């Protein structure tokens, strides 16, 4: 809209102003003595008027006017600036002349009218020299116009505004129609055939520092991870998943960042957690967490180092990390080996939770191989970025290896404009609104401690706007 309006303004400013001067001509016939003759004369004038209008806009008159005023233009150019309009059933002709100079517009209009009076006299005088049947009088002479008629700023800006709005709406609709990315909870749940267990908002800080320090952090993203953690604890209550694989369809969808913070959120509840970099091709956990990358998963599998030596303690209590190790030539083979399975079960015995970061599902089979050995898989979808068909292929490849899908996680959802909250609460917003505010001041604290029972209210999507209200109140 802005572009169109600016366009209209610049067109208006760049247009050379044109002034319009007008005269009015009256066509009369020699009146007869009787009523019938007068009537006939009147009819005759009216019929004449149409031909006169043509003559006024014709070349002969234009040339005569140019000759008289000594104008430096040709007849055709002048013709284009002259318009003669007639009103039906009258004997009046309005002559309008456009020119860049208001004075010249007036002069041309007046001379043209005078010349026309003379022209009509010539044309209408019979050969025998008797008085002409019809004559033209200049009823109203032109004066100097004060304001230009062209450009019309208001009209131009109006057109710009309307065009801009139409164009903008058109573009928005087209973009929306062509958008095949996942953007709503509905789409995500339908494509993955599983529930949404978390929505991680976009947080620019995460580009600099992937891990969140949960003890000091009270931001939206820390809350989102706490909620995700609580939801995880509710999944499969009879057989709680302890080896959890984090994956997604394509690269850069927030797998590693999310895996780190899920691990941290679980460690916050006094559980022992080990985070494994299962991405043996483009590992990133050691970079994100400032750890040694050369000794890790692959080196333990190859037998070069013992598991104890490869596990790295972090500055976060309760969190141990097994980085990728040196990049092997055959990651898929290594990950599918018996040793890998044995390693995972060893870790499972040692720790309460094993979180495995992995590669994108569509590019390579590594993640699917790891998924087959995990208790559950969390699939990430980056808001407005992950394509629907990519996501459904990724889910397909998980199904084909029989991997248990725990749930889907939206990553990098927009914070403002109701963004991330609407995914969290979309379904149950109305329900909670009716059920009234939740009478809980200590819920937040219980969640932080990982108290499953009382976390119900705050953790599940069903908590609705109540959760938000509480946070504000705090």
Ligand X SMILES: Nc1ncnc2c1ncn2[C@@H]1O[C@H](COP(=O)(O)OP(=O)(O)OP(=O)(O)O)[C@@H](O)[C@H]1O
Query: Under the rule (CB under 6 A), what is the footprint of ligand X?
Result: 200, 202-203, 206-207, 210, 248, 251-257, 279, 282, 284, 360, 411-412
CB of 410 closer than 8 Å to CB of 198: yes
Burial bucket for residue 301 (CB in 10 Å: 0-12, 13-18, 19+): buried
446 contact, one of Mg ion, ligand X, none, CB 5-8 Å limit per kind: none
Q: Which C-beta is closer to Mg ion: that of 29 or that of 256?
A: 256
Smallest separation, CB 384 to ligand X (Å): 13
Nearer to ligand X, 364 or 401 (CB): 364
Is 323 among the residues that bind Mg ion (CB under 5 A)?
A: no
Q: In what order do the strands lie in the sheet containing 273-277? A: 196-201, 405-413, 376-382, 243-248, 353-360, 273-277, 319-322, 312-313
Q: Which does 207 bind (CB under 5 to 8 A by kind): ligand X, Mg ion, none?
A: ligand X
Query: Quick one: what does residue 192 bind among ligand X, Mg ion, none, with the CB cut-off 5 to 8 Å set by partner type?
Result: none
Q: d(Cα 102, Cα 108) in Å, to the nearest integer?
A: 10
Distance in angstroms (rounded) separating the CA atoms of residues 286 and 73: 81
Q: From the CB of 296, what's the least distance to Mg ion, in Å?
A: 14
Q: How far apart are CA 199 and CA 386, in angstroms?
A: 14
User: CB of 252: closest distance to Mg ion in angstroms?
Assistant: 8
Output 133 or 203, the one with its CB closest to ligand X. Answer: 203
Nearest residue (CB) to ligand X, 97 versus 391: 391
3-state DSSP assignment of residue 162: helix
Return the closest-CA partner of residue 54 out of 93, 1, 81, 6.
93
Smallest gap from Cβ 231 to ligand X, in A, equals 17
The Cα–Cα gap between 349 and 337 comes to 19
Q: Is 440 exposed, middle or buried (0-12, 13-18, 19+ CB in 10 A)?
A: middle
Query: Nearer to ligand X by C-beta: 259 or 460?
Result: 259
Q: Which of 322, 344, 336, 323 is CA-nearest to residue 364?
A: 336
Q: Which is nearer to Mg ion, 115 or 357 (CB)?
A: 357
Residue 417 DSSP class: T
CB under 5 to 8 A by kind: which of Mg ion, ligand X, none does 226 bind?
none
Nearer to ligand X, 340 or 361 (CB): 361
Q: Is 184 helix (H, G, I), strand (E, B) or coil?
A: coil
Q: Shortest approach of Mg ion to residue 257 CB, angstroms?
A: 8
Partner touching 375 among Mg ion, ligand X, none, CB below 5 to 8 Å by kind: none
Torsion angle of C-alpha atoms 345, 351, 357, 361, degrees rounded to 10: 40
The residue number whose beta carbon is nearest to Mg ion equals: 256
Per-residue mark of binding to Mg ion, 248-277 (x: CB under 5 A)? -------xx---------------------
CA-based nearest residue to 232, from 275, 191, 265, 200: 265
Contact partner, 430, from ligand X, Mg ion, none, Cβ < 5-8 Å per class: none
- Picking from 234, 275, 316, 265, the residue whose alpha carbon sits closest to that of residue 448 is 265
- CB 241, min distance to ligand X, A: 20
Nearest alpha-carbon partner for 48 in 14, 25, 16: 25
Neighbours of 350 (CB within 10 A): 14
Name the residue nearer to ligand X (CB basis): 19 or 316.
Answer: 316
Distance CA 229, CA 136 (A): 95
Residue 183 binds which entry of Mg ion, ligand X, none, CB below 5-8 Å type-dependent: none
* Residue closer to ligand X (CB basis): 138 or 364: 364
Instruction: Residue 386: name its binding partner from Mg ion, ligand X, none (Cβ under 5 to 8 Å by kind).
Output: none
Nearest residue to 357 (alpha-carbon basis) of 335, 383, 339: 335
In the complex, the smallest distance separating the C-beta of residue 454 from ligand X, rounded to whole angstroms, is 27
Burial of 465 (0-12, 13-18, 19+ CB in 10 A): middle
Count residues binding Mg ion (CB under 5 A). 3
**Cβ 247 to ligand X shortest distance, Å:** 9
Query: In whole angstroms, how close is the CB of 441 to ligand X at the nearest point?
Result: 29
User: Which residue, 89, 144, 97, is CA-closest to 116?
Assistant: 97
Q: Is 284 in the site for Mg ion (CB under 5 A)?
A: yes
66 vs 354 by CB, closer to ligand X: 354
Nearer to Mg ion, 25 or 368 (CB): 368
Residue 461: CB minimum distance to ligand X, A? 18
Report the partner that residue 218 touches, choosing among ligand X, Mg ion, none (CB closer than 5 to 8 A by kind).
none
CB of 212 to Mg ion, least distance (A): 17
Contact residues for Mg ion, defined by CB under 5 A = 255-256, 284
């Amino acid at each position: 809209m802005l572009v169109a309006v600016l366009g209209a303004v610049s067109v208006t400013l760049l247009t050379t102003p044109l002034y319009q001067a007008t005269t009015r001509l009256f066509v009369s016939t020699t009146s007869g003595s009787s009523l019938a003759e007068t009537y006939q004369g009147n009819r005759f004038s009216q019929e004449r008027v149409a031909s006169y209008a043509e003559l006024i806009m014709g070349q002969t008159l234009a040339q005569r006017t140019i000759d008289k005023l000594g104008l430096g233009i040709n007849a055709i150019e002048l013709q284009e600036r002259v318009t003669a309009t007639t009103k039906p059933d009258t004997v009046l002709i309005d002559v309008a002349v456009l020119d860049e100079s208001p004075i010249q517009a007036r002069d041309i209009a007046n001379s043209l009218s005078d010349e026309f009076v003379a022209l009509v006299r010539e044309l209408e005088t019979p050969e025998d020299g008797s008085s002409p049947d019809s004559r033209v009088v200049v009823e109203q002479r032109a004066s100097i116009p004060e304001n230009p008629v062209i450009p019309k700023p208001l009209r131009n800006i109006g057109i710009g505004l309307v065009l801009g709005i139409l164009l903008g709406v058109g573009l928005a609709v087209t973009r929306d129609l062509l958008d095949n990315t996942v953007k709503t909870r509905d789409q995500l749940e339908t494509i993955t055939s599983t529930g949404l267990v978390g929505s991680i908002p976009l947080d620019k800080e995460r580009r600099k520092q992937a891990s969140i320090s949960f003890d000091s952090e009270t931001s939206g993203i820390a809350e989102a991870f706490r909620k995700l953690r609580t939801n995880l604890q509710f999944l499969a209550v009879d057989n709680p998943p302890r080896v959890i694989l984090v994956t997604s369809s394509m690269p850069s969808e927030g797998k590693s960042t999310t895996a780190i913070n899920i691990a941290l959120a679980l460690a916050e509840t006094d559980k022992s957690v080990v985070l494994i970099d299962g991405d043996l091709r483009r590992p990133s956990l050691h970079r994100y967490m400032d750890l040694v990358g050369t000794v890790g998963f692959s080196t333990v599998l190859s037998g070069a180092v013992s598991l104890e030596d490869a596990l790295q303690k972090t500055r976060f209590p309760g969190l141990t990390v097994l980085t990728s190790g040196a990049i092997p030539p055959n990651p898929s083979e290594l990950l599918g080996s018996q040793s890998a399975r044995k390693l995972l079960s060893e870790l499972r015995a040692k720790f309460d939770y094993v979180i495995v970061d992995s590669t994108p599902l569509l590019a390579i089979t590594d993640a699917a191989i790891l998924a087959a050995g995990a208790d559950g898989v969390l699939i990430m979808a980056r808001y407005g970025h992950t394509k629907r068909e990519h996501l459904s292929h990724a889910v397909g490849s998980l199904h084909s290896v029989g991997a248990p899908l725990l749930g889907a996680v939206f990553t990098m959802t927009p914070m403002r404009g109701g963004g991330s909250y609407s995914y969290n609460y979309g379904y149950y917003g109305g329900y909670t609104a009716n059920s009234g505010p939740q009478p809980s001041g200590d819920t937040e604290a219980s969640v932080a401690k990982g108290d499953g029972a009382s976390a119900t209210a705050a953790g599940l999507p069903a908590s609705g706007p109540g959760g938000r209200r509480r946070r504000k109140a705090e």
